[in-house]
Amino acid sequence: MTAIYIYAFLCVLFAGIVRGFSGFAFAFIVVISLSFVLPPATIVPAVFLLEVAAGLHLLPSIWKSIHWQSIRIMAAFAILFTPLGVYVLTNVPEEPMKLALAVFGVIAAAVLLSGYQLKRMPTSAETAATGAAAGLLNGAFGIGGPPIIVFFLGSPLALEAGRASIVAAFIVMDIAALGALFAFDLYNSESLVLSGLTLPALIIGVYIGTRMVGRLSESTARRAILVILLAMSLATGAKSLMALI
């Protein structure tokens, strides 16, 4: 088990660096990478604790830039659909869950790599659908970010407002997920130990990542990260598929 925790520490450290540098992909990297060695039901609760810790301290600095009109609708539907995702996490066996996670990872990485952009601000119905999808995926896999990222970074909003709104959406979804996970009694000693042991890696990683801003090409780094995530998702899917055959 010690080797697994060392591996988890290194994964969270890398994910923290990416989060500090680019502002996204923390949960995506941690969940996909740890799914090689741990079940999703152990990983997801730990990731939510780490995500909330990573996001709350940013809230005062981004408050004025948040696009509240979208966030209100999106957050409401994300909160409504999160318990459904947690129910899936609780009731689907480990290997099928990992396979579903891998399929979602491949689709999400491919969409983000495509650079898809909207020509207008989404309607209220589209905003609600994005929130519902994010809540469902967040509860089930701990990765509700891709729909939110595509929504805001692909919209005509200014980059600062888009990033601030992404962070705000993540915080709301993760707090909602924490409540749902407690309601389903999914927090166990393994998840709590995992989050406690890897919290220092998150803090160190975010510190390193913020120091890298401006020193690397952000677009090139994002594409490299997404290619890595795509490869990891394919490997996870192949491993789970072999276990099911």
More reliable by pLDDT, 133 or 186: 133
Question: Which residue segment(s) compose the domain that 18 sits in?
Answer: 2-244
Q: How far is CA 224 from the centre of its chain?
A: 17
List the structure tokens of 89.
């996490």
Query: Dihedral of the CA atoms 83, 137, 162, 25 (nearest 10)?
Result: 120
3 SS3 class: helix
Q: What is the pLDDT of residue 96?
A: 84
- The DSSP secondary-structure symbol of 1 reads -
List the structure tokens of 84.
């459904």
Q: What is the pLDDT of residue 1?
A: 67
What sign results for the dihedral spanned by CA atoms 157, 163, 166, 168?
A: negative
Is pLDDT above 80 for 43? yes
Average pLDDT across the chain, whole number: 84
159 closest CA partner among 23, 26, 18, 17:
23
Tokens 């594409």 sit on residue: 223
Average pLDDT, integer, range 64-71:
91
- Other beta carbons within 10 Å of 2: 6
Average pLDDT, integer, range 144-152:
82
Percentage of the chain modeled with pLDDT above 70: 96
138 closest CA partner among 78, 198, 193:
78
List the structure tokens of 39.
């079940």
Q: What is the pLDDT of residue 70?
A: 92
Is pLDDT above 80 for 222? no
Provide the pLDDT confidence category of residue 5 given band limits of 50, 70 and 90: very high
Is pLDDT above 70 for 218? no
Number of domains forming the structure of the chain: 1
Q: How far is CA 132 from the centre of its chain?
A: 15
- Other beta carbons within 10 Å of 121: 14
Calpha distance 95→22 (Å, rounded): 31
Is pLDDT above 90 for 6? yes
Q: What is the pLDDT of residue 54?
A: 80
Inter-CA distances, 181 with 82, 141, 245, Å: 9, 12, 31
Average pLDDT, integer, range 208-215:
80
Provide the pLDDT confidence category of residue 28 given band limits of 50, 70 and 90: confident
Average pLDDT, integer, range 114-119:
72
Q: What is the pLDDT of residue 9?
A: 97
Is pLDDT above 80 for 16? yes
More reliable by pLDDT, 127 or 227: 127
List the structure tokens of 148.
């939110």
